[in-house]
Amino acid sequence: MLRLAVLVSGGGTNLQAIIDRVADGSITNTEIAVVISNNHGVKALERAEHAGIPAVCVSPKDFEDRRAFNRALLETVNSYQVDLIVLAGFLVVIPEEMIDQYENRIINIHPSLIPSFCGTGYYGLKVHEAALERGVKVVGATVHFVDKGTDTGPIILQRAVEVKEDDTPERLQRRVMEEAEWKLLPQAINLIANHRVQVVNGRTRIQ
Ligand code: GAR
């Protein structure tokens, strides 16, 4: 059984997709051990509680500095003895110690086709604003392993979504979620849970 820690910051629609796909059996051999948010009172924590999953908030606001927060975050994850950390809209820089300890065991969903519109400053709605500003015709989402760079780790899955003439950043964000993110993230977890993802020379091999 693959034990997950799902890390969230806000709405938690990607978390909900994981909860639903575990419940309907599309994701097998997997259990969500804990949901951790860096923000108090967010909808994602409610979603976890509603599904009967331990929901914990570790907020930087409750610690005197970043080091103390990073340590608490890592200790919280470790205390649930998880096999995979899933960043599902977790808008916090992951501490280096966590990346060292969980090498190729942290995955992230990013709302663009990496290497476009990714890296520092590209998160949430900003990604879709930048894509519309540039005038690209195809966008999408990527699930990747997390390394020490920003959005630079081995790519696991990607899916393209077409831009429409009348798209606003909000409409495009919603369509990328519906058509790509909510499918890709559960699919990637299921592949990992069933030992179908290998990392070789910084790239993934999917069986
Ligand atoms: C999602 O679109 C996710 O791809 C994005 O934040 C949103 C969270 O939504 N993540 C990033 O931009 C990471 N760089 P959710 O809380 O409803 O899942």
Can 50 be counted among the known catalytic residues? no
> Which residue has the least CA distance to atom 9 on ligand 1?
89
> How far is residue 91's CA from residue 60's CA, in Å, rounded to a whole number?
12
Separation of 20 CA from ligand 1 center, angstroms? 17
Separation of 62 CA from ligand 1 center, angstroms? 23
Query: At which residue do the structure tokens 């929901």 appear?
Result: 55
The CA distances from residue 45 to 4, 22, 55, 160, 197, in Å, are 15, 17, 6, 29, 29
Separation of 122 CA from ligand 1 center, angstroms? 11
Q: Taking a C-beta distance cutoff of 8 angstroms, is the pair 84, 105 a contact?
A: yes
- What is the number of the ligand 1 atom nearest to the C-alpha of 110? 4
Q: Single out the catalytic residue among 110, 128, 144, 195.
A: 110
Q: In 148-195, at which residue ranges do the beta strands (DSSP E only) sit?
A: 155-162
Tens-digit pLDDT string for the chain (207 aa): 999 999 999 999 999 999 999 999 999 999 999 999 999 999 999 999 999 999 999 999 999 999 999 999 999 999 999 999 999 999 999 999 999 999 999 999 999 999 999 999 999 999 999 999 999 999 999 999 999 999 999 999 999 999 999 999 999 999 999 999 999 999 999 999 999 999 999 999 999
Q: Which residues form ligand 1's pocket by a CB distance below 6 Å?
A: 8, 10-14, 44, 88-89, 109-111, 123-124, 127, 177, 181
Question: Beta 84-87 vs 106-110: how paired, if at all?
Answer: parallel
The CA distances from residue 34 to 4, 48, 126, 194, in Å, are 7, 8, 28, 20
- What is the number of the ligand 1 atom nearest to the C-alpha of 118? 14
At residue 26, the pLDDT reads: 98
CB contact set of 199 (below 8 Å; sequence gap of 6+): 104, 145, 154, 205
> Which residue has the least CA distance to atom 3 on ligand 1?
89
Q: Taking a C-beta distance cutoff of 8 angstroms, is the pair 15, 48 a contact?
A: yes
Q: Which of 61, 9, 60 is nearest to 35 (CA)?
A: 9
Q: Taking a C-beta distance cutoff of 8 angstroms, is the pair 140, 112 a contact?
A: yes
> Which residue has the least CA distance to atom 14 on ligand 1?
123
Pocket test for ligand 1, best of 177, 182, 189 (most atoms within 8 A of CB): 177
8-state DSSP, 81: T
> How far is residue 30's CA from residue 3's CA, in Å, rounded to a whole number?
6
Return phi, psi of residue 191, to 5°: -65, -45
> How far is residue 42's CA from residue 2's CA, in Å, rounded to a whole number?
26
> Which residue has the least CA distance to atom 10 on ligand 1?
89
Return phi, psi of residue 44, to 5°: -60, -40
Taking each helix axis as running N to C, give the angle between helix 169-176 and helix 125-134, from 0 to 180 degrees, rounded to the nearest 10.
110
At residue 27, the pLDDT reads: 98
> Which residue has the least CA distance to atom 7 on ligand 1?
89
